[in-house]
Amino acid sequence: MDFRQLFKLRLVVAAMGETQRLGWWNSGVLTSTGEFLFQQGFPRSTPFAQTRAGFRVAQLACDEALAIQPTPGGPITCHLFRLTPQLEDAFENERNRWMDEPQEWADCFQAAWDLSAEQWPQALVELAELDPDAIEWARQQTPQTAKALRLDDPFEINQGHIERLTAGFLCGQPGQLVVPYLQVAS
Domain boundaries, the chain: 3-184
Does residue 127 surpass a pLDDT of 90? Answer: yes
- Radius of gyration over every alpha carbon of the chain, rounded to an integer in angstroms: 16
Residue, of 29 and 156, whose pLDDT is higher: 29
Does residue 122 surpass a pLDDT of 90? Answer: yes
Q: What is the pLDDT of residues 158-183, one digit of tens each?
A: 899 999 999 999 999 999 999 999 98
Q: What is the pLDDT of residues 18-43, one digit of tens each?
A: 999 999 998 988 887 777 777 777 76
First-to-last alpha carbon distance for the chain, in angstroms, is: 19
Q: What is the pLDDT of residue 101?
A: 82
Q: What is the pLDDT of residue 111?
A: 92
Cis peptide before 121 (omega within 30 of 0): yes
Q: Is residue 78 a contact partner of residue 165, using CB atoms and an 8 Å limit?
A: yes
Residue, of 183 and 71, whose pLDDT is higher: 183
Does residue 135 surpass a pLDDT of 80? Answer: yes
**Cα–Cα distance for residue pair 32/110, rounded to 1 Å:** 8
Q: What is the pLDDT of residue 33?
A: 77
Q: Which SS3 state, helix, strand or coil, does residue 67 take?
A: coil
Q: What is the pLDDT of residue 21?
A: 93
Q: What is the pLDDT of residue 186?
A: 73
CA dihedral (123, 22, 107, 93) in degrees, to 10, reads: -100
Q: What is the pLDDT of residue 146?
A: 85
